Amino acid sequence: MKGFCRILLACVALAPAARADVATKTTLVLAGHERAYYLLMPPIKEAVPLLVALHGSGGEGRQMIRRWQAMAEARSFAVLAPDALHSDAWSLTDDSPEILHAMIEDVRASHPIDSRRLYLTGQSGGAVYSLTLGMLESRYFAAVAVHAGAWRQDKEFAVMALAARKIPMSIVVGDRDEYFSLAAVEKTRSQLALHGFPAATTVIPHHFHDYDERTEEIDADLWGYLAPATLPDEPVYIDYGFGAKPGTGRSGF
C-alpha cells in the first residue's frame, strides 16, 4: 500500500499544473446595463495586437480567455473577451458595435495596443456575429478569423454591402460539425470571394463542433491567418446609432 501511495504521489508531482486564470475582469455601464469583459495582456511595454474573442451560445468571455491563453502568451498579443448581455446569443441590439467599441477603447486608453492590428474571432454563435461585425466595422478591425460558424440565412449575406473595406476573413470548421455544415461554410466563403473579400477556409478532419477538443490546432490556424493582417491606416469606427452609449460607471479587478 505504501508503495502504491508513493507511485501516486509521484504521478501527481509530474502532472502539469492547471493553467492559471490570469485575466482581469472589468465592468462598464453601457446602455443602462453593467457589461463585463475579460482582458489578458502580455507583460511587455511595447504596443501589441488585440484579439477580440466572442464566446459561443451559452458561454462566457472567461472561456475564450482560457482557450487563447497559451497562444497569446507564446505570441505576445492581448485578448479581450466580453460577455454577451444574454449568454444564449449575440445581438446587434443588445451587443451592438457601440458596446464592443466602448470596451476596446477602454482597453486602448490604458494599455499599449497596436491600433492597426485589432482582430475579431469567435466560436459558434460568436463566430457568426464576428463575421457580421467585420462587415460593419471593416475599417476598424484588420481581419476576422473564426471557428465553427457561417452565415446560414440568405438575409445574413446582405451585410456585405455595408463593408467599406474588403476585410480578410477565414473560417475553421470540422468536417463533422453538428451545427455548421461544410456546405454552409463553403457558401459563406464563396459569397465573400465573389464580392471581393479575401476569404479562406480550413477543414479539420474528424473534428466536431467542440472548440476544446482541438484548441491548440484551431488557435494556431486562426492566429496564423490574423497575425499578418494590418490596417493600411489608423482604424476608423462607424457609429450606426444603435444608441448604446457608455455610462459613467466602471470597475475592475
Tens of pLDDT, residue by residue over 190-216, are 999 999 999 999 999 999 999 999 999
Distance CA 117, CA 102 (A): 17
Distance CA 131, CA 145 (A): 8
Residues 134/120, Cβ–Cβ less than 8 Å: yes
Cβ contacts of 5 within 8 Å, gap of 6 or more: none
Query: Residue 12: its pLDDT value, please?
Result: 26
Low-confidence residues of the chain, pLDDT below 50?
1-20, 245-253
Query: Residue 243: its pLDDT value, please?
Result: 56
Coil, helix or strand for 69? helix
Query: Residue 88: its pLDDT value, please?
Result: 95
DSSP state of 46: S
Distances (CA, A) of 180 to 106, 149, 195, 203, 210: 34, 6, 22, 12, 12
What's the farthest any 2 CA atoms get from each other in the chain?
Answer: 71
Query: Residue 22: its pLDDT value, please?
Result: 80
Query: Residue 242: its pLDDT value, please?
Result: 72
Strand pairing category for 48-54 and 78-82: parallel
Residues 139/238, Cβ–Cβ less than 8 Å: yes
What's the whole-model pTM score? 0.88
